[in-house]
Each structure stands twice: as C-alpha cells, then as structure tokens.
C-alpha cells in the first residue's frame, strides 16, 4: 500500500478523545431563615454556608432567581439580573498563565465572596451633592429604589434638588424630576414614595421658615411619578390652629385601606414647631390623613383630606420637650416608631406608638445615655430609620447615623405581645458597617430580605444588603 493511502486508512480507523479542563459543577442551598423566637439571640452575622461550588467557567446565564426568603447564597448578592461587574477571573483548575496574580477584587475562592450590588449616581459631585433620603418601590423580585439629593448653586438663594430612580436589574440612577430653588431658601429635606393601583406617588417635605416677618409652615408636595409637574401642596399647620410645623427632620408615608377611588393614606412627619401666639417651641410628631382617588390625576382632584384642609392638615401625636429633638420616624399600619433625644436626662430613646388608639401614648422600646454607634455616653446622631415587620415575632427597627459613624443599629419590639423589647444594638453584619445617612426597606418583606443604604465608603452609591437580624 502506498504511504499516503496507509496514513489515510490509519486515521479512518482511529478516534481522538478530548478531555475538558475546568472546575466541577455543583450547587448549594441554604434553609429558609427562621426568625428568632422572642428572647432568643441571633448573632446577626449572616452566616455563609460556604458550600458554593464554582463551575470554573463563570458562565452567567442571566436567569438566577432571587429567593427573597432570607436565604444567604454564600455571600453572593443577587442583583436581580445577575450582573457580574467585578471581572471575576476564575482559574477553576485551568493552566496558570505565567504565574500572574489576579488582583481583581472579586476573586472566587470557593467561598463566593463577591462584590455586593451597588446602585450608582453617575452624575454625583463629591463634596457638593448630599443625600436626603431613599425610598423603596416595585416588588421583591423587581425592586425600584429612589434617591433624593441636593447641591448648592452659586449665585442663587436655594439649592438644586434631584429625584432619581433605578429599576432592577439596572444599576444606574436616572433623573425623574429636578427642582431648582433659585429664589427659595426653604430646603427639601425628605421624601417617600407610596404605591396603589399601579400608581406611584412621591411625597416630599420642604422646610418652613421661622424668620420674623417671613414665617411659613412646613409643606408637603405630592405628585405622581409619571406626572412630576402636576403637584399638590399641603401646609403642615395644626388642624385646630394651635401650632405650625416649621421643620422637617424625617417623613414616612403609607397607604392603609380603601378602594381605587378612595385609598386612605397616612403621612408621619417629625420636625421643629412653633406654637401660635406663644413663645413655646419644640419638635413634634404629626400625622396627615389623606384620601387618594387613583382614577384621577392630581390636577383633577385626586387628593382630599380625612381631617383638616390644604393649609392646615397636621394632627399632633407627640410633642417633645423644649430642648429635646425628634430625629426620625418609621411606620407600618398604625404602628409608629420614632427616635428622640431628651436633653434633661441625656436619654437616647426609641419610642413605639399605636396610632389607632383614641389617645395614642408612647411606649419605650430602647432608652440609654449611650450612643450605640460611637460606644460612648453622648447624644446619638440619627439620620434615618426604617423597619421590617415581624411575622409572629419582633418588628425590627433599623437606624443609621452619618458617615463619621457608619453602621446600622437594630432594635426589636412586638406591638401586641407582652414580651421584652430588644434594645438598640449595633449589628456586626459586614455590609452594614458601610451604611450611613439614609436607609430603606419594604416593611412587609420580612427578615433577611433586601435593604438599601447610602454607602459611606463610595460617594454617590447605594448599597444593597440583606436586612440584618437582631445581633
């Protein structure tokens, strides 16, 4: 046989086997987190099962489902679309390329310690912009996070305020409304977004004026997210003419009950107030009771009042002492939590109030002379708070301070069960150590679900984390 024909015959009767090189596939799961029973101590450290197996090819199929059940996937934060933006070079058993060290900050060592999801404002101006608040919307699987920021503008009286939102799986904020206070010195301070029957309503709080001759009350401005130029303005004077709210330290709002043509809503605001025709002043917690006809636009009269009217819609719930402050408020249903500093006895106090009571009274959840964030005896600087409703367990209340004292303080309380409250303690959760200034969550989502805070380590970025359990 000729040599060439011999080679062809040999190849035709042979087979070539290829062996794939890479890490073995695998999966892991964690049991659904069970809320700790009353009195039990949970270490609040989001224990990682550490069993996530890396496939070695780091293939993202874009279909990962976020369980939203408090399950910790080995530290791997799911951003709703499974967007991997850390580079994530995986050697997975592959040949080392010349011994080079991978310096990416998302090295997978089998523990799945990936970079957390960050939402970013690409237009943020460090040293100029300041964050005023965060709000949550959407659903557990498809959340929408909104942020209100402000910055000074040279040559004009007031600041420039920008409301932005981002819908998962996107991670960059987009502007939904800009408010230029060119000739208005009264700052916007806080906001919230409430949703019903497919409509999202923004409720923003603007400071009043306490200067003699220029006095005016704090105002609420309400508009639909889809129609930002159609605005209802409400004055926060007392419905009985006793006082005017002049400041706005914090705001929380929620729909309570009703139908598409008559959805009842509560807005809770805390801030400085002046008593009419008197020298007395001090911080207050007030309630505004509204009704929304979601079949109408704002201009068509969508908003009416359960009590009061457009210029005087505030109902007093709590008045602080002359030198005391009320710094933050968070609520769901008729359950209201608010944080105060009492100057006379130097107490940092977290209160609970049942807003449905005929004459609401306060109950102490946590009280101490110590600043939980700093670990010393002093007044706490509380910038914002949110809560997660307990399901047959304690409500968990979350507080943040400023960037000089990052972290999350957590307290627990059961509104209608006679068990001890869990006093404020700083969580040791790793991601929580980066939180400051603003925080938000859906109260109904439960323990371990998504929560967002301003990232003290990354200017103009909002950090996603799991709501920590009580430490």
pLDDT of residue 91: 39
Q: What's the pTM?
A: 0.76
Q: How far apart are CA 89 and CA 112, in angstroms?
A: 12
User: What is the DSSP secondary-structure string of 322-384?
Assistant: TT-EEEEEEEETTEEEEEEEETTTTEEEEEEEETTSSS--EEEEEEESEETTTTEES-----E
pLDDT of residue 447: 82
- Can you give the residue ranges of every domain in the chain? 27-33+42-115, 118-466
Q: How far apart are CA 199 and CA 234, in angstroms?
A: 20
Mean per-residue pLDDT pooled into runs of 10, the chain (471 residues): 39 36 35 36 37 39 38 38 39 39 35 74 97 93 95 92 98 97 91 96 94 88 97 96 96 96 97 86 96 98 95 96 96 96 96 94 98 97 96 94 97 94 97 98 87 97 96 93
Fold of 118-466: Neuraminidase (2.120.10)
Rg (CA), the chain: 27
Cβ proximity of 329 and 267 under 8 Å? no
User: What is the DSSP secondary-structure string of 79-147?
Assistant: -SS----S-----TTPPPSTT-----TT---SS--PPPPEEE-TT--TTT-EEEEEEEEE-SSSEEEEE
pLDDT of residue 44: 36
Distances (CA, A) of 276 to 94, 152, 244, 288, 465: 76, 32, 7, 19, 45
pLDDT of residue 467: 95
Which residues on neighbouring strands pair with residue 336, listed in sequence order?
Answer: 331, 353
């Amino acid at each position: 046989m000729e040599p060439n024909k011999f080679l062809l015959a040999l190849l035709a009767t042979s087979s070539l086997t290829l062996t794939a090189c890479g890490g073995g596939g695998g999966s892991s799961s964690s049991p659904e987190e069970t809320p700790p029973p009353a009195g039990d101590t949970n270490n609040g450290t989001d224990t990682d099962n550490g069993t996530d197996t890396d496939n070695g090819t780091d293939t993202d199929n874009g279909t990962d489902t976020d369980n939203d059940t408090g399950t910790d996937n080995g530290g791997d934060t799911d951003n709703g679309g499974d967007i991997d933006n850390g580079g994530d070079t995986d050697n997975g058993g592959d040949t080392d390329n010349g011994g080079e060290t991978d310096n990416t900050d998302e090295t997978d060592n089998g523990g799945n310690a990936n970079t957390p999801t960050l939402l970013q404002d690409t237009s943020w101006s460090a040293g100029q912009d300041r964050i005023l608040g965060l709000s949550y919307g959407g659903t557990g699987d498809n959340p929408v996070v909104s942020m209100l920021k402000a910055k000074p503008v040279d040559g004009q009286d007031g600041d420039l305020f920008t409301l932005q939102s981002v819908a998962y799986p996107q991670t960059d904020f987009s502007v939904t409304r800009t408010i230029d206070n060119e000739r208005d010195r009264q700052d916007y301070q806080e906001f919230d977004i409430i949703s019903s029957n497919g409509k999202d309503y923004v409720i923003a709080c603007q400071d009043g004026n306490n200067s003699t001759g220029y006095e005016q009350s704090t105002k609420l401005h309400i508009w639909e997210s889809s129609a930002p130029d159609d605005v209802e303005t409400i004055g926060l004077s007392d419905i009985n003419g006793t006082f005017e709210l002049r400041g706005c330290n914090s705001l929380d709002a929620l729909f309570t009950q009703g139908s598409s043509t008559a959805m009842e809503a509560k807005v809770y605001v805390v801030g400085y107030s002046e008593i009419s025709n008197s020298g007395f002043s001090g911080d207050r917690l007030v309630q505004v009771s509204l009704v929304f006809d979601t079949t109408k636009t704002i201009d068509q009269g969508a908003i009416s009042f359960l009590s009061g009217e457009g210029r005087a819609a505030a109902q007093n719930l709590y008045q602080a002492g002359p030198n005391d402050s009320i710094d933050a408020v968070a609520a769901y249903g008729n359950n209201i939590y608010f944080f105060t500093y009492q100057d006379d006895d130097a107490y940092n106090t977290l209160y609970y109030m049942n807003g449905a009571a005929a004459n609401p009274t306060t109950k102490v959840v946590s009280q101490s002379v110590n600043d939980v964030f700093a670990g010393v005896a002093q007044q706490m600087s509380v910038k914002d708070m949110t809560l997660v409703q307990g399901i047959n367990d304690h409500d968990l209340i979350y507080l943040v301070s400023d960037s000089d004292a990052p972290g999350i303080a957590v307290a627990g309380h059961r509104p209608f069960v006679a068990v001890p409250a869990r006093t404020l303690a700083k969580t040791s959760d790793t991601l929580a150590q980066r939180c400051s200034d603003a925080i938000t969550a859906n109260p109904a989502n439960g323990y371990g679900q998504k929560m967002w805070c301003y990232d003290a380590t990354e200017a103009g970025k909002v950090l996603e984390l799991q709501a920590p359990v009580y430490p």
